[in-house]
Amino acid sequence: MKCLSLIIAIFLIGCSTSNWRTASRESVGIAPLASELDDHIVQIYHARAFSWRGYFGVHPWIAWKKASDDQYTVAQVISWNLRRNGSAVDVSKDLPDRKWYDSSPHIIFEARGEKAKKIIDQLPSLIESYPYKSVYKVWPGPNSNTFIGYLIRNIDELDIELPANAIGKDYSDDFLLSTASGTGLTFSTYGLFGLTLGLGEGLEVNLLGLHFGIDFWTPALKLPLVGRVGFPDQGF
């Protein structure tokens, strides 16, 4: 299995002509300008991962701004941050809606006002306690999706789930987890195999990091590589 994964990765790298140095990181204009927003705000985005990884999955991040802030703060897990700084977690002042190296972001969550403030108050301690700061693996995790999945599971106000093509979202050392909505359970063996059943999530099966499922709450199919097909996730 490891040999097969290596062969696929080498093939896809060889097919990719992307250059991260010249790839676009410009804002796409989804987020309100910090200078024009006198309110608390939290947003979660994802975009197709860079280069060959984008065929298989997405890269997510969370951004927030307190009412008194003049800039957004963005938190995400990045592989090269681990190599440079000894931690995969990067927290910095930045534009929240940048392209992820040519890939346009999609917003999957937004909260403002008191709900956003409750989320922001919980973020520093949870980011600090993220258990996989010193590890990064594209497959099956822990990776950027594991990080955002961890925040979602531990903050009730983040009433959203990551899409089916967020490989690594269910990675954990624990075999039994609460679902993102808190309305069910996820059984996961280090993100390789798993089963999720919840009122908010529906039914989802994980086979080698590829997720297949159906959402009954806001009807949609959940498919690997593609993500969600059907009605947009409306939270729980």
Cα 181 to Cα 24: distance, rounded to the nearest angstrom = 34
DSSP letters spanning 34-103: GGG--S-EEEEEEEEPSGGGGGT-EEEEEEEE-TT-SS-EEEEE-HHHHHHHS-SEEEEE--TTB-BTTB
Give, to the nearest 10 degrees, the angle between helix 144-154 and helix 113-129. 120
Tell me the two tokens of residue 60. Answer: 């997510």
Residue spans of the domains in the chain: they are 28-230
Question: How high is the pLDDT of residue 39?
Answer: 98
- Alpha carbon distances (Å) from 189 to 109, 195, 201, 210: 27, 10, 19, 13
How far apart (Å, rounded) are the C-alpha atoms in residues 115 and 235?
14
Closest by CA to 76, choosing from 51, 47, 102, 54, is 47
> For residues 61 and 39, what is the distance between their CA atoms, to the nearest angstrom?
20
Q: Distance between CA 65 and CA 136 in Å, rounded?
A: 27
pLDDT digits (tens), the chain, 236 positions: 554 444 444 444 444 446 878 899 999 999 999 999 999 999 999 999 987 777 789 999 999 999 999 999 999 999 999 999 999 999 999 999 999 999 999 999 999 999 999 999 999 999 999 999 999 999 999 999 999 999 999 999 999 999 999 999 999 999 999 998 889 999 999 999 999 999 999 999 999 999 999 999 899 999 999 999 998 887 66
